[in-house]
Structure 1
Amino acid sequence: MNRFPPQLTQLHEWILQETRLGRMCGSPERFRDRYEILQVLGRGGFGITFLAKNAVLPGKPLCVIKQLCPKVTSIKSWERACQRFKKEAKALGELGNHPQIPMLLDYFEVKGEFYLVQEYVRGSTLAREIKKTGLKNEATVRKFLQELLPVLKYIHQHGTIHRDIKPHNLLRCEDDGRIVLIDFGAVKQELVNAGQNSIHRHATTNFVGTMGYAPPEQFSLNSVYASDIYALGVTCLYLLTGKSPLEFSYDQNTGEICWQQEVNVSESFALILGKMVKIPVKERFKSAQDVLRALEIESYVPTLTNCLTTQPPRSHTHKKPELAQGYLTPAQKTAIAIREWKAKLNKK
């Protein structure tokens, strides 16, 4: 199953009629003797997602079954895809021990198609939330960053790049309000790479991500941890403006988003957002921890503005020169760190 009907209006009907899980929707038949398929949740470039319930467990808990469909052309490429799938599914299973990442419950292969079973998170995407409740302000977006950046730090420490951070892949849990990161691109990337011979790999077929949210290096298949930082920065712009990245104008010389006139945020927070969405990787924040540190320093700016003196401390003749010049109070040290940080950001 490698092709979908081109007309979106026919897609849902096609899934129900032409896919095994689609034909099980609403029927008492169980997939692998345990999963009752309830409905189609969505379709992406690599497969279809279904809502199901595990009928053999107490309470019949809900779960999500993702059917991944790599394009294989030979037995060898299928075997390679199968090996990659198992490897990446295990890696995804390790990530699932985080409260803001859906837990991987099972994974298996059936008749050349690969399946992931994950916990179901009841909630709404941030994209839907914006349309329903309106735009976010600076304080809310800063809080959002402080909540999500530790998740990015966690997955990066496990050697994984998400590759598809966007409002549609961020769920606000209905039960406790936490933000949950879904739909990892790592497994999909490995599957598409494994399913094709290296001489036939092209950026147009191997790219995993979303136009506008993915930075240029991702289109060249050179994703780095900073690629997720860029996508997160663009997501912040969406929360502040309600505009998808393709709705903004772009600087013809640099390729960067022209967003500054669209938002109402403080100068210090604008500097952080600007560095998150820099096109050159070397000018962007390198890690989630770097962004968290910048946010922490930025929070001190309003209360320490008066400490930012422009004149060096005067020496006193009755004191030893080395003491007069060498001692700085904690407030002075913090002020100097803020001044240096702002100067570096202004150079970018």
Structure 2
Amino acid sequence: MNYCINFNCSQPQNPSTATRCQACGADLLLQERYRVLRALGRGGFGATFLARDELLPGKPPCVIKQLRPSAEAPHLLDMARDLFQREAKILGEIGNHPQLPRLLNYFEVGQEFFLVQEFINGSTLQQEVKQGGPFTEDSVKECLSEILAMVQYVHNHRVIHRDIKPANIIRRNQDKKLVLIDFGAVKDKVNATQTLGSEQTALTAYAIGTPGYAPPEQMAMRPVYASDIYALGVTCVYLLSGKAPRDLAYDPVTGELLWRDQVTVSDHFAQVLKKMLEISVRHRYPSAKAVLRDLELEPYMDSLAQNLAISVAPPLGSNGENSGSLKGL
């Protein structure tokens, strides 16, 4: 099947033999290279498609993200273009990591911007939970450690992902490694759109993130590195409980997610999750490295607690009673 990417097309599905859309007449071969097969997602800012690269041997699959800025004024379109090119450059840099999708191409067609990325074949963590139920604590810790390493790499490139959630983490079939996808919402840490004043929503509305996973400061368009930490914390709660944020209660005063009675985890891991999920950025982990440090400390903390318990216990006498106990009183 061929799929038409014209946002206003009334019937985007076309026969595989068609070269032009039967409904709107649009060319079905993007850039004379990419044949779009189906839509993966759609929103107000554009859409994401599964496509095939007709120019490469074997015609490998790829993912095409279409961005449609709502701005129409020429100077705003110029700003959108600059931001798009900056974002493409960032994606090209971070795509060198083996667990992040590679940027294959980017271009502009008719005031719409397109990113072409590597297609990752596998299952999302959301799909795994729906099919197999909640994860164990150990499994979640393994996932968390693996994802934190990726997040730290991304943050080192001055990038905030802004949309970490179970549906954006894929376990690759090839090697069972986790891959963090959907970087269409990433933004340079230095947010150039702030120069647009009240018009900035024309370019940034699509990058707010997913409600429930995005913390308050991100929903207010002021994301920081710790915003990704919060989203990852909510992701862990989902993996442990099988419940999405919308299915959990919130404190009506603080806005805090009430998750503790929904999961069964060790006290130490509960403390780690609690700090990841702090509403206040000042109280939240500032970096992925800080979370990793506490996770790696857990075995030593357990050992220390056991040693302390042994050291403070009074010694036993030869008859099995405490040697310091008083007799005959």
TM-score, structure 1 length as denominator? Answer: 0.78
- Name 1:265's counterpart in structure 2: 265
The alpha-carbon distance between structure 1 residues 114 and 14, as it changes in their structure 2 partners (threshold 3 A), is closer
Is 2:182 aligned against 1:183? Answer: yes
Question: Who is 1:77 aligned against?
Answer: 76
1:67-106 deviation per Cα after TM superposition (whole angstroms, max 9, x unaligned): 1111112111111111111111111110100111110000
- How far apart in 1 are the matches of 2:11 and 2:300? 54
SS in 2 for 1:308: helix
Native 8 Å contact 2:160 2:186 kept in 1: yes
- For the aligned residue pairs, the C-alpha RMSD in angstroms reads 2.9
Indicate whether 1:88 and 2:87 are aligned: yes
Contact 2:169-2:180 at 8 Å conserved across structures = yes
The alpha-carbon distance between structure 1 residues 14 and 93, as it changes in their structure 2 partners (threshold 3 A), is: closer
Partner of 1:166: 165
Work out whether 1:68 is the aligned partner of 2:58: no
Aligned-pair CA distance for 1:206: 6.6
The question of whether the paired residues in 2 share the 8 Å contact of 1:192 and 1:206 is answered with no
Counterparts of 2:306 and 2:140, CA distance in 1: 26
2:219 aligned with 1:219, yes or no?
Answer: yes
Letter in 2 for 1:214: A
> Structure 1 stretch 212-221 or stretch 227-236: which is displaced more?
212-221
CA contact (8 A) 2:83 2:192 kept: no
- Check the 8 A contact 1:25/1:38 in 2, yes or no: no
User: Cα distance 1:99–1:289, how it changes in 2: closer, same or farther (>3 A)?
Assistant: same
Q: 1:237 to 1:168 in 2, by over 3 A?
A: same
Distance 1:175 1:263 in 2: 31
Once the two structures are TM-superposed, the CA of residue 309 in structure 1 deviates from its matched residue by: 6.3
Check conservation: 2:158, 2:188, Cα contact below 8 A: no
Where does residue 150 of structure 1 map in the other structure? 149
- Return the offset for 1:166: 0.6
| Percent identical residues | 47
Return 5+ residue gaps in structure 2 as ranges: 20-28, 313-329
Give the deviation of 1:252 after TM superposition: 2.4
Q: 1:60 Cα shift? A: 1.2
Which TM-score applies when normalising by structure 2?
0.83
Aligned length: 299
Q: Which residue of 2 aligns with 1:56?
A: 55
Match of 1:239 in 2: 239
User: 2:95 matched to 1:105?
Assistant: no
Mapped partners of 1:26, 1:99: distance in 2: 33
Q: Which is worse superposed, 148-157 or 212-221?
A: 212-221
Structure 1 residue 249 displacement after superposition: 1.1
Change (3 A) 1:205 1:36: closer
Structure 1 residue 19: Cα displacement: 4.8
Partner SS, residue 146 of structure 1: helix
C-alpha contact 1:26 1:39 (8 A) present in aligned 2: no
The answer for unaligned runs of 5 or more in structure 1 is 1-12, 313-348
Provide the rounded CA distance (Å) in 2 between the counterparts of 1:46 and 1:189.
Answer: 21
Q: Over residues 133-155 of structure 1, what are the superposed CA-to-partner deviations in whole Å (9 max), with x where a residue is unaligned?
A: 11101000000111100000000
Deviations 1:194-218 (A, max 9, x none): 9x94234469947611111111111
Alpha-carbon distance in structure 2 between the residues aligned to 1:284 and 1:56: 47
For 1:58 and 1:150, locate their aligned partners in 2 and report how far apart those are by CA, in whole Å. 33
- Partner residue of 1:123? 122
Q: Residues 188 and 128 (structure 1 numbering): CA distance in 2 closer, same or farther, change over 3 Å?
A: farther
CA distance in 2, matches of 1:135, 1:223: 29
C-alpha contact (below 8 Å) 1:250/1:256 kept by paired residues: yes
CA deviation string 1:217-254 (max 9, x = no partner): 11222111110000000000000111111211112232
Pair 1:137-2:136 in alignment:
yes
Paired residue type of 1:99: P
Cα distance in 2 for residues equivalent to 1:89 and 1:214? 23
- State the shift of 1:64 in Å: 0.9
1:303 CA displacement: 2.8
Contact residue 63 and residue 118 of structure 2 kept, 8 A: yes
Alignment partners' CA distance in 2, 1:152 and 1:25: 41
Q: Secondary structure at the match of 1:82?
A: helix
Deviation readout 1:285-327 (Å, 9 max, x if unpaired): 1100000000011122333323336999xxxxxxxxxxxxxxx
Deviations, residues 130-184 of structure 1 (Å, cap 9, x unaligned)? 1111110100000011110000000000000001111111111122111111112
Tell me whether 1:26 sits opposite 2:25 in the alignment.
no
